[in-house]
Each structure stands twice: as structure tokens, then as C-alpha cells.
Amino acid sequence: MPSQLQVELKQARPFKSLEEEAHLSIQRTAALLEHAFEAALKPHRITATQYNVLRILRGSEPTGLCRSEIAERLVRQVPDVTRLLDRLEDAKLIVRERGGEDRRYVVTRITRSGLHLLEQVQLRIDEIHRKQLGHLDQAQLRRLIALLAAVRHRE
């Protein structure tokens, strides 16, 4: 009997291994979750990665963060954080300022416009989370979180 993922992908042959099926299942799930998330952000003209940066900077207030600290905290790593920050600065959602003694150190902070944008999208994001994961009870959610952490932090 074919697995649920085989049915979704219209795949007649079995997967080579359970590991392969698990990997593809994670990818498929992430793609479906991300699609709804990106669609909710599209009217606000930001991407999920830009939203992630704004959330990171909101959490770092009032001190802000340097580029490398932002890069370390991103959910999804990107090759060019500087360009990502340039776009957010052009949109007036963040501001970058050079440090005092060390002029190479640039602190990035979220602007009022950036905070306002986060407020605008928060209800929609909360709704998406409920729609996508609200059918799972607390124990299932905790188990899912633990299993995904185990995948990420294999020892």
C-alpha cells in the first residue's frame, strides 16, 4: 500500500529508504507551509527572510545587531545578508549606523515603519499558524518540535 507522500507525489514506486521518504516529507511539508507564509507577506512586499530579519531586530531592541549577528540568527541562511539589509533599508524598515570607536562596526535596528509592518502582518501570520498546525494538540506539537530538533541536532 502506498504511503501518503507517494499518493501526494503520484509516485508509483516505493522510496529507496525510510530516510529518503522522511527527507522528502520534510521538504514537501516545508514547501506547503512556506507557500502560505509567502502569500501572506506578498501584499506587504516583503519575503519570509525579510520578515525573519525584522522579527530578529524587533527582539534585539533597543541595542540592535550587527550584520553577522543577524546572519547567525536567520531561520534560513542566505548568501548575501548585506544585500538583504540593503533592501530593507531602502524600504525604510531598518536603519544602519556606524559604531563609535570602531567605524567598521555597523549596528542595524528596526524602524517604526518596520515595527508597524510587523504589527500589520501579525494577525494574518497567527491565522496561518492556526490553520496549518491548529489541528494538532499540544502533545503532538511538542513531539513534532522535539523530532525536528532531533533531526537538526544529530549527535
What is the C-alpha to C-alpha distance for residues 71 and 65, in angstroms, rounded to an integer? Answer: 10
Residue 1's pLDDT is 83
- Tell me how far apart the alpha carbons of residues 89 and 109 are, in angstroms, rounded to a whole number: 10
- pLDDT tens digits for 57-114? 999 999 999 999 999 999 999 989 999 999 999 999 999 998 666 667 889 999 999 9
| Cα torsion 49, 137, 27, 69: sign | positive
- The CATH number assigned to the domain with range 17-152 reads 1.10.10.10
Rounded Cα distance between 50 and 100, Å, is 27
CA distance 82 to 139: 40
CB–CB of 147/153 below 8 Å?
no
- Exposed, middle or buried, 57 (CB in 10 Å: 0-12/13-18/19+)? buried
Residues 6+ apart with CB under 8 A from 111: 92, 93, 94, 95
What does the pLDDT read at residue 154? 79
Q: Compute the 3-state secondary structure of the chain and give helix, strand, coil in percent, each to the nearest 5.
A: 65, 5, 30
Q: What is the pLDDT of residue 17?
A: 93
DSSP assignment of 1-45, as one string? ---HHHHHTT--SPPS-HHHHHHHHHHHHHHHHHHHHHHHHGGGT
Q: Could you give the dihedral angle defined by the CA atoms of residues 90, 98, 69 and 56, in that order, rounded to the nearest 10 degrees?
A: -50
Global pTM reads 0.85
Residue 2 pLDDT grade (very low, low, confident, very high; cuts 50, 70, 90): confident
Q: Which residues contact 151 (CB under 8 A, 6 or more apart)?
A: 26
Q: Quick one: average pLDDT of 31-44?
A: 94
